[in-house]
Chain A
């Protein structure tokens, strides 16, 4: 779950990180009243709160020289879509005059099984380019998850960056605050980019926090409505509302499988045999008949899919549950008939195949046969 910039900054501020003075305006608020009473001193930065990358380049960040200008820019940005998304919140902040832009983040290094701190003197929008061209300019530091990021370690990172004097300590405490927020919010990522140095103080000019979806239930206070995606198609957002892992593609063969690996491989097979998949749809592990029915109905209604290839190899998924779901979906579907090719193997395959065959659907054992048929039927 991606947090808005103002939420991320709010969290970091509670951990002692300095952020520019600002105010959040929600859609429908009295913009003028809110900004007038905020006591902010111009120049101001007006920032559209959208959860997409490249917001600055897309025109979502504007400078206002007066409160009056900030009011009209705020109203303007509410109606200004960034990659197709209209914001629900606008953050208005005092501009911080700065000459340096640094980078700091904490994420999980999956293969090292450790949290890792990344820091660089060269922050801003081109940080990835710098990582490619001058990888030595990025300091990486692995943290022992049982010890946390200790002060001397954080100061070591600051020293490695080449920071001097009092900034060493303020940068180190920024990193420690970020680390504590990272742990407390079960974050996949805490990123401050850019951050700047004002005197001996470190200020976070922008901030991102991504909370692990598996842990988001621990933070009911973050349950506000989020407008996400941007490049999500109509059918993808429909699938998201149904809780289906679905990606729309260009072709005409509908693909559904259990498990990301098998579903991706099913797509690969469609390509290999000369077809083009219309989508990726993974029903996950242990899907109930109800969930399968929902997924199959979705593909039956999905107009791009001219035929449907269902590839199931049951482990924790039970073939009889899958068969029941497919049958119920086909019974309920009242649109234009669509050919469905089902490969069913694994746990309870005999029961599953029997159910399908009693209903008049052939159950394939070999997915290659089912793929070939599905491609032919789509043409």
Chain B
């Protein structure tokens, strides 16, 4: 068992003919991910690393009805259209790698996805990996190994760092989800935690947060309320970052005391979460709670 992706994941790559789409299709195939089709409007009939290219998701699905997941590499200006196309084709999971999508567009397609029962991960995220089964993302596959630790993260590169450190200590991962660094994302910490709570293979969770926003505080609240019962350790990036740029009065009023490093650590520790000072303390903390 795992969450979101696994052996039964069959992928369509949207934007497969672009630089990143093609390169990462190759890496995902090498990892063992089942990629059935690719889509680039106007490039139908071609092939990328042995994967057939179609003009639309609909056509790809006619030929490959087993497809249930999309990964989107489409450039920012056309990315939300691609996401809607995947949602309307009935796909259950859409992983959006694209960086730079206007937040108003993300706001609309994440709300739309929810109304249709589609899970959107991202945008601006590294994707999801269930080690040994499927990699739907751009993360370097070799730093992961299979085991009992779930990871949910706002920071791509720190995810690699911590997974690598865990792997080196023999602590494998059940599923690793990079939720993305944009202000609005399709899957939040607490939504991912609901999935990990139900996954019997996951015996501990690592939360990788960042300063800003209130997702870590919400995760802490969920733990306090007893809705997440597995042991949790966390790392928050940005301890020494100078206070960031603020966005008018409205941003400050909305956030009111949430979002800085101290507030996140305090909330998590109050909920019984051990917070690591640096990524390399995570393996030690995890082995203590397992």
Using a CB–CB cutoff of 8 Å, the interface residues on chain A facing chain B are: 103, 105-111, 113-116, 118, 127-128, 131-132, 135, 138, 144-146, 183, 186-189, 191, 193, 208, 210, 212, 214-215, 217-218, 247, 249, 257-262, 264-265, 267-269, 271-272, 277, 280, 284-286, 313-316, 345-347, 349, 367-368
Report the bound CA distance from A347 to B242 in whole Å: 30
CB within 8 A of B160: which of A212, A218, A345?
A345
- Complex interface: chain B residues within 8 A of A315 (CB): 126, 137-140, 156-157, 160
> A268 with B237: in contact, given A186-B102, A191-B250, A316-B20 (CB under 8 Å)?
yes
- Complex interface: chain B residues within 8 A of A128 (CB): 249, 252-253
Report the bound CA distance from A367 to B218 in whole Å: 31
- Complex interface: chain B residues within 8 A of A249 (CB): 242
Is the beta-carbon distance between A109 and B254 smaller than 8 angstroms? Answer: yes
Number of A-B contacts (CB under 8 A): 181
Could you list 27 examples of A-B contacts with CB < 8 Å? A105-B250, A108-B183, A111-B214, A111-B215, A118-B253, A128-B252, A128-B253, A131-B253, A145-B111, A146-B108, A186-B102, A186-B103, A189-B248, A258-B157, A259-B158, A260-B210, A261-B155, A261-B181, A262-B155, A268-B237, A268-B278, A271-B239, A286-B20, A315-B160, A345-B143, A345-B160, A347-B27
Is the beta-carbon distance between A247 and B242 smaller than 8 angstroms? Answer: yes
Chain B nearest CB from A318 CB (Å) reads 8
CB within 8 A of A131: which of B156, B210, B252, B278?
B252
Closest A residue by C-beta to B107: A145
Report the bound CA distance from A108 to B185 in whole Å: 12
Closest B residue by C-beta to A248: B242
- Complex interface: chain B residues within 8 A of A269 (CB): 278
CB within 8 A of A285: which of B76, B156, B184, B218?
B156
Report the bound CA distance from A110 to B208 in whole Å: 18
Chain B nearest CB from A152 CB (Å) reads 21
Is the beta-carbon distance between B250 and A118 smaller than 8 angstroms? Answer: yes
Task: Judge if B269 is at the interface, Cβ distance under 8 Å.
Answer: no
Task: Judge if B164 is at the interface, Cβ distance under 8 Å.
Answer: yes
Report the bound CA distance from A340 to B70 in whole Å: 41
Chain B nearest CB from A289 CB (Å) reads 14
Closest B residue by C-beta to A110: B183
Is the beta-carbon distance between A265 and B247 smaller than 8 angstroms? Answer: no
Report the bound CA distance from A258 to B253 in whole Å: 31
Task: Judge if B104 is at the interface, Cβ distance under 8 Å.
Answer: yes
Q: Which of A187, A212, A280, A316 has the most CB of B within 10 A?
A: A316
Is the beta-carbon distance between A210 and B107 smaller than 8 angstroms? Answer: no
Is the beta-carbon distance between B213 and A110 smaller than 8 angstroms? Answer: yes
Report the bound CA distance from A285 to B248 in whole Å: 28
- Complex interface: chain B residues within 8 A of A268 (CB): 237-240, 278
Within 8 A of A (CB), among B189-228: 208, 210-211, 213-215, 218
Is the beta-carbon distance between A214 and B156 smaller than 8 angstroms? Answer: no
Is the beta-carbon distance between B101 and A214 smaller than 8 angstroms? Answer: yes
Interface mask (B4-37 → A, CB under 8 Å = 1, otherwise 0): 0000000000000000100010010000000000
Task: Judge if B42 is at the interface, Cβ distance under 8 Å.
Answer: no
Chain A nearest CB from B210 CB (Å) reads 6
Report the bound CA distance from A218 to B188 in whole Å: 28
Is the beta-carbon distance between A105 and B238 smaller than 8 angstroms? Answer: no
